[in-house]
Amino acid sequence: MTKIKSIRTRVWNWTGPTVPPTGNFCTNASDALWMKGDAMASFRFHQWLTCEVETEDGTIGIGNAALAPSVVKKAIDDWYAPLVVGEDPFDYAYIWEKMYRRTHAWGRKGIGMTAISAIDIAIWDLMGKLVGKPVFKLLGGRTKEKIPVYYSKLYAGPVESMQAEAEEAMKNGYTAYKSRFGYGPKDGMQGMRENLKRVEALREVIGYDNDLMLECYMGWNLDYAKRMLPKLAKYEPRWLEEPVIADDVEGYAELNAMNIVPISGGEHEFSIIGCADLIRKKAVSVLQYDTNRVGGITAAQKINAIAEAAQIPVIPHAGQVHNYHLTMANTNCPISEYFPVFDVEVGNELFYYIFEGDPEAVNGFLQLDDDKPGLGIEITDKHLAHFEIVE
């Protein structure tokens, strides 16, 4: 048995080219503020955290976090690493509880749970490498021949450019698409029409035999969403995502109970109990935790069981292998989100520039390798020129 010897955290600050922001690009929680300028600014993630957990025999497990990397690094270095070093990685449930309970006063959600997630993901990668098995084989194995994905981009812009992007994606074999709204409560009735115009335009391109999902990214509110839902119904969206801020669980439940369009959410929820609460309150019809926020693979797998008991499908936020392995190992996880490999825009794309081995979608599906131990990714130095790294 080999014990955990050290944890190495690095913050990767992207210094490469980024797609310049445009107006009404993606509604978000900042839209409710009286402010000028780029409301999406605080939701661009142009840095990432890598978290490498090494055992005495030199095996290294790789974890990661996208939220507030510089702060999460500090939390891991100062608080969580001392709790984990010296433990047996296969005692992962005990390690999770130790991290959760020893920082319970401040770490139950947000930064603390993100730090726990990064370490836990690394421990699962480590366990897979130590036993020579892919992580999904430790979770339940292969429940799918390959994983269907949905194309997740289509940020709001000129109608013609959105249609052109959808047409291009159609050529690549996707059968499900997620688009972002650009208008919300402060844009009034005209903004509603702009939103509906774009949904109609996308349906003209993808038709009605393909799934269309609509993303608000916490940029609407209960009143606006209640007014929009009846107008959206005829476009048959598969779900309406994060229509209200993450704390408005009652708002979620009221919108979901209207049963006009299934409501999805969870990418800004944390911990097993946080997600169980969304399920208990019937706040979502589709649960979308992100494994690198919610508590890692240990927490995500427990949440999958709770969601399955309630027959709520789980479609984790983001692509990325830490989510794919859970989707592969759970029948109640039908498809995966997939960020197409594009220039760096909001930052979801950074994963492709830091890691090697994240599967790329082919014809609307992606595959995991039965013989690749752990998560199947390594940190690459191919794009180091575009990063400033803080050890």
Ligand X SMILES: O=C(O)[C@H](O)[C@H](O)[C@@H](O)CO
Contacting positions for ligand X (CB under 6 A): 26, 152, 180, 215, 217, 267, 317, 337, 346, 348
Residue 217 Cβ vs Mg ion, minimum distance, rounded to whole Å: 6
Beta strands in 127-279 (DSSP E): 147-152, 176-180, 211-215, 239-241, 263-265
Two tokens, residue 226: 């209640």
Q: Which residues pair with 192 in a beta bridge?
A: none
CA–CA distance from 280 to each of 103, 156, 309, 352 (Å)? 26, 33, 11, 36
**Segment interacting with Mg ion (CB under 5 A) among 241-249, 271-279, 355-363, 376-384:** 241-249
Minimum CB separation of residue 288 from Mg ion in Å reads: 7
Residue 199 Cβ vs ligand X, minimum distance, rounded to whole Å? 16
Identify which of residues 65 and 95 has a Cβ nearer to ligand X in the complex: 65
Contact indicator for 239, 261 with CB cutoff of 8 Å: yes
261: which 2 tokens? 């369009």
The closest of 222, 176, 130, 181 to 335, measured between CA atoms, is 176
Question: Which token pair is 205?
Answer: 């391109």
Closer of 80 and 155 to ligand X (Cβ): 155
Q: At closest approach, how far in Å is the CB of 242 from Mg ion?
A: 5
Classify 8 as helix, strand or coil.
Answer: strand
Q: Could you tell me if 7 and 53 are in contact, meaning their C-beta atoms sit under 8 angstroms apart?
A: yes
Query: What are φ and ψ of residue 379, in 5° steps?
Result: -75, 130
Helix axes 296-309 and 271-280, enclosed angle (nearest 10): 20
One-letter amino acid for residue 340 of the chain: P
Cα separation of 384 and 389, whole Å?
A: 9
Q: Which is nearer to ligand X, 137 or 178 (CB)?
A: 178
Q: For residue 19, give the DSSP letter.
A: P
Instruction: Please report how close the Cβ of residue 19 comes to ligand X at its closest, in angstroms.
Output: 13
**Contact between 272 and 246 (Cβ < 8 Å):** no
317 included as an active-site residue: yes
The minimum distance between CB 354 and Mg ion, in angstroms, equals 21
Alpha carbon distances (Å) from 79 to 97, 103, 106:
14, 8, 11
| Amino acid code (one letter) for 344 | V
Q: How far is the CB of 213 from ligand X (least distance, A)?
A: 9
Q: Which of residues 54 and 267 has its CB atom nearest to ligand X in the complex?
A: 267
Assigned token pair, 119: 């370490």
Crossing angle between the packed helical segments 249-257 and 271-280, to the nearest 10 degrees: 30
Residue 121, binding choice from Mg ion, ligand X, none, Cβ under 5 to 8 Å by partner class: none
The amino acid that residue 295 corresponds to is: G
Q: Closer CB to Mg ion, residue 103 or residue 320?
A: 320
Closest CA to 359 of 325, 316, 313, 383: 325
9 binds, among ligand X, Mg ion, none (CB under 5 to 8 A by kind): none
What is the nearest approach in angstroms of Mg ion to the Cβ of residue 265? 8
26 binds, among ligand X, Mg ion, none (CB under 5 to 8 A by kind): ligand X
Q: Which of 46, 104, 268, 317 is catalytic?
A: 317
* Nearest residue (CB) to ligand X, 26 versus 228: 26
Give the Cα-Cα-Cα angle 125, 131, 134 (nearest 5 degrees).
Answer: 50
DSSP state of 334: -
Pick what 346 binds: Mg ion, ligand X, none; C-beta below 5 to 8 Å, kind-dependent: ligand X
Please, are residues 339 and 150 in contact by the beta-carbon 8 Å criterion?
no
Q: Applying CB under 5 A, which residues contact Mg ion?
A: 241
- The catalytic residues are 317
